[in-house]
Amino acid sequence: MSKSMARVARALEEAGLRADIHALGEARTAAQAAAVAGCALDQIVKSIIFAGQDSGRALLFLTAGGNQVDAARASALAGEPLGKADAALIRAQTGFAIGGVAPVGHLTPIRGFLDPRLMEFGLVWAAAGTPHHIFSIAPADLHRLTGAQLADFTS
């Protein structure tokens, strides 16, 4: 198990949850991940990282697989202009590589926002710290563990 995946498993277990991690194989998109998990596209949690242009900090937007983050709405929520986060910023602040950013197990605390669409399901699936692994979690537990603000930021 990679260090990144181990951090995710540890974060889940420390929260009293079972770390039910599954291999994705060659799935690279939310639609492909949904097919592997046997769930609806919107049950896939996409972890989108933006860089705060004033603060220089990474901000995490957790959105349903079929939704897109609206940059203007996201910036308004963040209270600062947002730009594309590069791989170095993402790795330094989350500890994860692009494509494997998990919603939990970050190296440093990260400010996050959660798409309300995810709360409509009994179970959702998120990256488990690598681009090739996902884990399942109840949306209420995801909300509790991440401390993310429920907010409408999609277009």
Q: Which residue has the tokens 């692009």?
A: 98
The verdict on residue 123 lying in a domain is yes
At 44 the pLDDT is 97
Q: How many domains does the structure of the chain reveal?
A: 1
Residue 98 pLDDT exceeds 80: yes
**Apex CA 47: angle with CA 126 and CA 78, to 5°?**
140
55: in domain: yes
- Structure confidence by residue, pLDDT tens digits, 60-92: 999 999 999 999 999 999 999 999 999 999 999
Has residue 20 been placed in a domain? yes
pTM for the model: 0.95
Q: Is the pLDDT of residue 28 over 90?
A: no
Residue 67 lies in a domain: yes
In the predicted structure, residue 25 carries a pLDDT above the cut 90: no
pLDDT reported for residue 146: 97
Residue 1 has pLDDT above 90, yes or no: no
**Does residue 129 fall inside a structural domain?**
yes
- Continuous H helices in the chain: 3-14, 30-37, 71-78, 87-94, 139-146
Domain annotation covers residue 155: no
Strands (E), 95-132: 111-114, 124-127
Query: What type of residue sits at position 111?
Result: R
Q: How confident is the model at residue 26 (pLDDT cuts 50, 70, 90)?
A: confident
pLDDT at 133 (0 to 100): 94
Q: Is residue 74 part of a domain?
A: yes
- What's the pLDDT score for residue 124? 98
The amino acid at residue 12 is L
Domain with 88 in it: 3-150
Check if the beta carbon of residue 21 is closer than 8 Å to that of residue 133: yes
Average pLDDT over residues 84-105: 94
Length, in residues, of the chain: 155
How far are the Cα atoms of 2, 53, 54 from residue 103, in angstroms, in the given order?
16, 22, 23
More confident position, 26 or 9? 9
Q: How confident is the model at residue 16 (pLDDT cuts 50, 70, 90)?
A: very high
Question: What is the domain-level CATH number for residue 61?
Answer: 3.90.960.10
